[in-house]
Amino acid sequence: MSFDPTLAAIRFGVGLSPNIAPPSSVDAMMDRLRGPDQIGSRIEIPTSSAVYPSANDHRLASIALNEVRGTDGEAAAEEHRLTMRAAGREAVGTYLRAELARAAHTTDGFRERLARFWGDHFTVRASNAISRNLISPYVETVIRPHLAGNFANMLVAAVSSPMMILYLDQHRSMGPNSRAAQSNGLGLNENLAREILELHTLGVGGRYSQNDVREFAELLTGLTASARRGAYYRSQMAEPGSETVLGITYGGREESMAHVVEALRDLAVHPDTARHLARKLAVHFIAPEPDVTMIDEMAAAYLAADGGLTALYDVMLRSDAAWGPQLEKVKKPFDFISSAVRALGVPLEVIQGATLQQTRRLIQRPLSVMGQDWQSPVGPDGWPEEEDNWITPQGMAGRITWSMQAPRDMLQDLPDPRAFVFDALGPTPPDEVVFAAGAAETVSDGVGIVLASAAFQRR
Amino acid sequence: MDRRNFLIGGTALGCSAAASPFVTPVAMAAAPWDTRLVVVILRGAMDGLDVIQPYGDPALAGLRPSLLTGEAGDAIDLDGFYALNPLFSSLMPLWRAGQFGAAHAVSTPYRDKRSHFDGQDILEAGIPDLDNGGLRDGWLNRMLQVVPGLEAEVAFAIGREQMLVLSGQAPASRWSPDARLQISPNARALLNVVHHDDPLFREASEDAIEIAEQISLQGELAEETEMMMANSPMMEAVQGSGEHIEIAEFAASRLRGDTRIASFSINGWDTHARQRNTMRRGAAALTDTILTLQAGLGPVWDKTAVLCLTEFGRTAHENGSSGTDHGTGGAMLFAGGALRGGQVLGQWPGLGEGDLYAGRDLLPTRDVRAYAAWVMHDLMGLQRDVLEQAVFPGLELGSNPGLVL
């Protein structure tokens, strides 16, 4: 078994399109990934430093309001604050449409899949309602530039992002013997340290102990964030002295972020990290129990490349085990919807021109019904991979209903189902789907049956 | 126990249930207990001091001059010390029947940061704090995990909102009234064709269609619910319509069948300003929900416990905009025929100078998880050590408040 364009688009990309050819080879996929992020430039999402409204914008608006409370200026200041909040809500919809449009119109589908994979690997959640518009910019800032780069850079960028610091309570963590802890009585919070070891690097089966977690948590103290300053290092919060994590001693003289970065870079190229990342990628793209030899080869190539991510992808895509004909994975709800929008050929301006209300009705609420509340997985371990988590009665009701109804809300002229079955499933769709597409009573039912079929839902 | 079983046997629930007053065969297939537990998460931090007003405390009126408490605010006396906010007056018949009550001065172990998100996470995860790693599951799910062999049908998270409290390894169902399945009979038949060789998709689709049919207007359970509600005098007090009613109706229809646990949320309690108005929506949704559950459950109401929990209370002092800010201690509301209502439980800490937590909030005198744990202990027969270790790690159960009849 080897490379197949249809499988490449469905399993490793964002699906087939009637207008965009599937990848022609592994070389072509890797070349596109190593090249410029064309769809990212064409459909922009701001980075964390350019986003509006930011946490600091909200902070300044609240300060401005408090200053004029009880005066004639109060109404205007309150109005300003509410307008800003509305802009934030609007931005969440704009970025969702942008992510959908990128998936529907890119020629570089593997990049979009990797952006979501690594965004999920470094899951953050909004810490309050007004920071919901910061998640897409977080992925744009810390994940997307590093997709074809070095894992250590992505790890450092994610861990030192204010989104991650606030989400995993690093701003509440103080060295027990730090100056700050002595004055306010707060102490160590191990949350970020534990999740970096358990989720982001070594994996839950990795060779680390509770003592490593604690020492690493002490090493991380000082790393903090606020609305005003973003992420920064505050040495008053840092635990004095050196810390030993996995047998390596860091720091000792002056506390600084450099010691944290040093430890993160070591963790990034630990053999347990290599295995954890290799296996997680293979499970995400290929099968719940992926080929063990392939994982070993991926991990070895990653270590040989000093944590270079393209080595990991390259070995996976060139492995026979990646191209088995059995479709063992199920598309998660966003991937299902975006691949359907792509297969339907919904024009860019229709996606981007949707109102916030339409976005919620056609995308955001259906995602919730299907079990994937947009950008809100339950915990820092992100969305589950198991198929029976997604293909539940309610999840299936959501998928069926969306398939039957949403396409006609997005397109005036639906494709002929007898042709659409080939647009969506490639040159050799299963006979029963070809039959059902032709046997439907209406065009929208025919299109809906194709989209709701296991053949389209799987990859 | 005898009283509830007798009621089941004595009413027209179904031919099988009528066979013996002491046997409820419908139930045993699904779970080793026959009682029902509904957990309602009140998101936004309900002001317990305003809903169940301790107007017998001399400090209350001074703390809340414009919120108007007790007689000045038309609150309804409950027991001489506590009074019920008039927005909740439709629950008075249940109070008098001993089927609605509260536990006051309660909270989760969450302290000081007063963030909704963290507070709700701790409430739903049922853990002491968020310091030891990320959230993985909720306490209702961990309760299910200790009972082997349960089917997903036993527990339902309802609504669009994600319910952490029921998330986790144990199978649980999730349904939102939004998830109406609209599909023509022809398309349904074709769906069977395309899913024929994929058992995962085939079974999920068949179940989806079955559930959707049950909740559709033509569905038997829904009709039964509507009939029950039409015959219930309590339903005259229901003010609104909307999603929360649909959720309560759906919950009632499932709980009359094999479902033993349901959980959903009611939002709208974050009353920072003009509290008398801003609480109106949440209050209407909550009272409508309880009344709809009571009517829709019919005889099953008598073996049902409804617990309404919120992430934390609100400040004892009102703020500058006739509202209240995030606080600590608050109240848990409860309802249901399986519970001993008509009382406000809890040790009152006082609202005077020096009584308040951090000088600003109602001091919690009991962990709210202890009440939930004792309800599960008495209702489902869960053991004390299971509750203290697996379901609510770090909880000291303390003495039994005797909430369950």
Mean pLDDT (whole number) for A298-321: 98
Q: How far apart are CA B220 and CA A265, in angstroms?
A: 62
Q: What number of other Cβ atoms are within 10 A of residue A227's Cβ?
A: 17
**Do B124 and B209 fall into the same domain?**
no
Task: Assess whether pLDDT exceeds 70 at residue B105.
Answer: yes
pLDDT, residue B5, reads: 31
**Which of B138, B150, B208 has the alpha carbon at shortest distance from B179?**
B208
Q: Which residues pair with B52 in a beta bridge?
A: B84
**Do B233 and B356 fall into the same domain?**
yes
Residue B50 falls inside a structural domain:
yes
DSSP B328-346: S-EEEEEE-TTB--S-EES
**Do B290 and B153 fall into the same domain?**
yes
State the smallest CA–CA distance between residue B221 and chain A in angstroms. 18
Confidence of residue B133 (pLDDT cuts 50, 70, 90): low
The 3-class SS string of B177-195 reads HHHCCCCCHHHHHHHHHHC
Q: Which of residues 155-174 of B touch A (CB under 8 A)?
A: 160, 162, 164, 167, 173-174
CA-based torsion, B4, B139, B176, A443: positive or negative: negative
Minimum Cα–Cα distance from B177: chain A residue: A369
**Do B44 and B131 fall into the same domain?**
yes
**Which of B12, B7, B9 has the alpha carbon at shortest distance from B24?**
B9
Q: What tokens were used for A233? A: 């290092």
3-state secondary structure of B80: coil
Is the distance from CB of A364 to CB of A372 less than 8 angstroms?
no
Confidence of residue B216 (pLDDT cuts 50, 70, 90): low
Is the distance from CB of A225 to CB of A160 less than 8 angstroms?
no
Phi, psi of B217, deg, nearest 5: -60, -30
Is the distance from CB of A414 to CB of B152 less than 8 angstroms?
no
Q: Chain B interface, mutation test: which of A378, A401, A443, A457, most B Cβ atoms within 10 Å?
A: A378
Pairing state of beta strands B100-107 and B330-335?
antiparallel
Is the distance from CB of B221 to CB of B253 less than 8 angstroms?
yes
State the smallest CA–CA distance between residue B12 and chain A in angstroms. 30
What average pLDDT is seen over chain A? 95
Query: Between chains, do B132 and A441 touch, taking CB under 8 Å as contact?
Result: no
Query: Between chains, do B174 and A392 touch, taking CB under 8 Å as contact?
Result: yes
> Per mean pLDDT, which range of A219-228, A381-390, B336-345 is the poorest?
A381-390
**Do B53 and B162 fall into the same domain?**
yes
Confidence of residue B217 (pLDDT cuts 50, 70, 90): very low
Residue B404 falls inside a structural domain:
no
Q: What number of other Cβ atoms are within 10 A of residue B14's Cβ?
A: 12
Q: What is the pLDDT of residues A8-55, one digit of tens each?
A: 999 999 999 999 999 999 999 999 999 999 999 999 999 999 999 999
Residue B233 falls inside a structural domain:
yes
Task: Assess whether pLDDT exceeds 60 at residue B19.
Answer: no
Q: Which residues of B touch A420 (CB under 8 A)?
A: none
Task: Assess whether pLDDT exceeds 60 at residue B14.
Answer: no
Task: Assess whether pLDDT exceeds 60 at residue B21.
Answer: no
Q: Chain B interface, mutation test: which of A85, A191, A394, most B Cβ atoms within 10 Å?
A: A394
E-only strand ranges, A234-271: 242-245, 248-251
Q: Name residue, tokens 């070993």.
A: A296
Instruction: Report the interhelical angle of A333-344 vs A443-452 (nearest 10°).
Output: 140
A113: exposed, middle or buried (Cβ count in 10 Å: 0-12, 13-18, 19+)? buried
Mean pLDDT (whole number) for B312-330: 90
A405: exposed, middle or buried (Cβ count in 10 Å: 0-12, 13-18, 19+)? middle
Query: Between chains, do A394 and B208 touch, taking CB under 8 Å as contact?
Result: yes
Query: Between chains, do A191 and B195 touch, taking CB under 8 Å as contact?
Result: no
Q: Give percent of chain B with pLDDT exceeding 90.
A: 57
Q: Which residues of A271-286 are buried (b: 16+ CB within 10 A; e: fewer)?
A: ebbbbbbbbbbbbbbb
pLDDT, residue B27, reads: 35
3-state secondary structure of A326: coil
pLDDT, residue A120, reads: 98
A69, A172, A398: residue with CB nearest B179: A398
**Do B330 and B186 fall into the same domain?**
no
B133, B135, B191: residue with CB nearest A400: B191
Residue B1 falls inside a structural domain:
yes
State the smallest CA–CA distance between residue B135 and chain A in angstroms. 5
Range of the domain at B9: 1-30
Query: Between chains, do B191 and A391 touch, taking CB under 8 Å as contact?
Result: no
pLDDT, residue B29, reads: 45
Task: Assess whether pLDDT exceeds 80 at residue B215.
Answer: no
Mean pLDDT (whole number) for B268-273: 85
State the smallest CA–CA distance between residue A316 and chain B in angstroms. 27
Q: What is the pLDDT of residues A407-417, one digit of tens each?
A: 999 998 999 99
**Which of B38, B39, B40, B37 has the alpha carbon at shortest distance from B268?**
B40
> Per mean pLDDT, which range of A72-81, A121-130, B232-241, B262-271 is the poorest?
B232-241
H or E segment at A55?
helix A55-67
**Do B156 and B211 fall into the same domain?**
no
Q: What tokens were used for B367? A: 């962990």
pLDDT, residue B24, reads: 33
Query: Between chains, do B131 and A432 touch, taking CB under 8 Å as contact?
Result: no
State the smallest CA–CA distance between residue A231 and chain B in angstroms. 20
Query: Between chains, do B179 and A448 touch, taking CB under 8 Å as contact?
Result: no
Largest CA-CA distance found in chain A, in angstroms, rounded: 76
Task: Assess whether pLDDT exceeds 80 at residue B3.
Answer: no
Q: Which residues of A touch B132 (CB under 8 A)?
A: 190-191, 194
Q: Chain A interface, mutation test: which of B173, B191, B197, most A Cβ atoms within 10 Å?
A: B191
**Do B202 and B308 fall into the same domain?**
no
Minimum Cα–Cα distance from B113: chain A residue: A172
Q: Which residues of B touch A191 (CB under 8 A)?
A: 130-134
Query: Could you tell me the CATH number of the domain that includes residue B95?
Result: 3.40.720
Query: Between chains, do B204 and A392 touch, taking CB under 8 Å as contact?
Result: yes
Minimum Cα–Cα distance from B166: chain A residue: A378
**Do B5 and B124 fall into the same domain?**
no
Confidence of residue B13 (pLDDT cuts 50, 70, 90): very low
**Which of B157, B140, B120, B159 has the alpha carbon at shortest distance from B270?**
B120
**Do B116 and B241 fall into the same domain?**
yes
CA-based torsion, B20, B26, B27, B31: positive or negative: positive
Query: Between chains, do A128 and B133 touch, taking CB under 8 Å as contact?
Result: no
Q: Which of residues 39-68 of B touch A (CB under 8 A)?
A: none
Query: Between chains, do B195 and A453 touch, taking CB under 8 Å as contact?
Result: yes
B19 CB near a chain A CB, below 8 Å? no
Mean pLDDT (whole number) for A154-166: 97
Amino acid found at B125: A
Mean pLDDT (whole number) for A125-137: 91
Is pTM beyond 0.80? Reply is no
B130, B181, B190: residue with CB nearest A440: B190
Query: Between chains, do A391 and B200 touch, taking CB under 8 Å as contact?
Result: yes
CA-based torsion, B176, B334, B43, B322: positive or negative: positive
**Do B254 and B167 fall into the same domain?**
yes
CA A188 to chain centre: 29
Query: Between chains, do B117 and A127 touch, taking CB under 8 Å as contact?
Result: yes
**Do B239 and B187 fall into the same domain?**
no
Residue B400 falls inside a structural domain:
no
pLDDT, residue B18, reads: 31
B134, B200, B208: residue with CB nearest A387: B200
B167, B179, B191: residue with CB nearest A394: B179
Minimum Cα–Cα distance from B209: chain A residue: A397
B186 CB near a chain A CB, below 8 Å? yes
Q: Which of residues 270-329 of B touch A (CB under 8 A)?
A: 320
Q: How far apart are CA B293 and CA A64, in angstroms?
A: 46
Phi, psi of B106, deg, nearest 5: -115, 160
Task: Assess whether pLDDT exceeds 60 at residue B222.
Answer: no
Give residue limits of the domains in chain A: 164-268, 333-457
Q: Which residues of A touch B155 (CB under 8 A)?
A: none
Q: Which residues of B touch A439 (CB under 8 A)?
A: 190
Mean pLDDT (whole number) for A65-69: 93
Q: Chain A interface, mutation test: which of B113, B129, B136, B190, most A Cβ atoms within 10 Å?
A: B190
Residue B397 falls inside a structural domain:
no
Can the peptide bond before residue A53 be classed as cis, meaning omega within 30 degrees of 0?
Answer: yes
State the smallest CA–CA distance between residue B156 and chain A in angstroms. 11
A229: exposed, middle or buried (Cβ count in 10 Å: 0-12, 13-18, 19+)? exposed
Q: What is the pLDDT of residues A233-271, one digit of tens each?
A: 999 999 999 999 999 999 887 889 999 999 999 999 999
State the smallest CA–CA distance between residue B78 and chain A in angstroms. 37
pLDDT, residue B272, reads: 83
B218 CB near a chain A CB, below 8 Å? no
Residue B189 falls inside a structural domain:
yes
Confidence of residue B233 (pLDDT cuts 50, 70, 90): low
Mean pLDDT (whole number) for A402-428: 94
ipTM score for this prediction: 0.89
Residue B402 falls inside a structural domain:
no
Q: What tokens were used for B118? A: 């963290």
Domain count for chain B, please give it. Answer: 3
Minimum Cα–Cα distance from B191: chain A residue: A449
State the smallest CA–CA distance between residue A402 and chain B in angstroms. 9
DSSP A422-439: HHHH-SS--HHHHHHHHH
